Amino acid sequence: MASVAQVLDRIRSAETEAQRKVEEAREKAEKIVEEAEKEAEEIVRKARVEAEEEAEKILQQALKEAREEARKVREEGEREIEELRSQAEKRLDEAADAVVGLVLGE
């Protein structure tokens, strides 16, 4: 039969072992939390990069569409100016003919 000292030694040894295991578990838990935080930060960073890239794509597409629309408006304006210029020249010719007719008594 074991003596009281031996039983107390075994109890102390078991307590020491239990404390060691608790400490190991705490360290593992801290590492798991630390790794999870790093992974979360990486996920957020990647999401931010992807969002910035998508925003840049949307911006570039909007600029492209705006430039195309501006080009169409400019071309339409140039066509209208040319048409007005042509009509003005035609009317100027008609007005000149009318003035000449009035001067010559026609």
Full pLDDT tens readout for the chain, 106 residues: 668 888 888 999 999 999 999 999 999 999 999 999 999 999 999 999 999 999 999 999 999 999 999 999 999 999 999 999 998 888 887 877 877 778 887 6
Q: Rounded to whole angstroms, what are the CA distances from 8 to 21, 33, 46, 56?
A: 20, 37, 56, 71
Which two three-digit tokens encode residue 79? 């066509």
Q: Is 75 exposed, middle or buried (0-12, 13-18, 19+ CB in 10 A)?
A: exposed
| Location of structure tokens 């492209």 | 64
**pLDDT at res. 51:** 98
Residue 83: count other Cβ atoms within 10 Å of its Cβ. 10
Number of residues written out for the chain: 106
